[in-house]
Amino acid sequence: MTSDYDRVRTGIEFMTAYVSGNDLLGAYLAERRREDPAAAENLMDGTAALCAALLRTLARMTGKTEHQILQELARGTHRHEQRSDE
């Protein structure tokens, strides 16, 4: 069984590659797939664990519920996409 720390650490590694650009992300994903056939599942699990930890932290910092924060993120993303389409 993987610990929460390991799951979050996997999410941090994946998101670090993601924000570093497509070339690094592609190389990271290729390396992970070579090391572990279940890499995609592990990366999704790790990213979900990281997001959950960040969401809990943000909820504590803002005094909002996790659900409220998710709704705000969805609305903000939708508005940004609408403006981008104009």
pLDDT per residue over 11-28, tens digit each?
999 999 999 999 999 999
What pLDDT shows up at residue 72?
95
For the entire predicted model, the pTM comes to 0.80
Q: Please state, rounded to an integer, the average pLDDT across all residues of the chain.
A: 93
Residue 37 pLDDT grade (very low, low, confident, very high; cuts 50, 70, 90): confident
pLDDT of residue 76 exceeding 80 = yes
Instruction: Give yes or no for residue 86 having a pLDDT over 90.
Output: no
How far from 68 is each of 14, 27, 45, CA to CA, in Å? 26, 36, 23
Q: What angle do CA 62, 64, 66 make, to 5 degrees?
A: 115
Evaluate if residue 52 carries a pLDDT over 70. Answer: yes
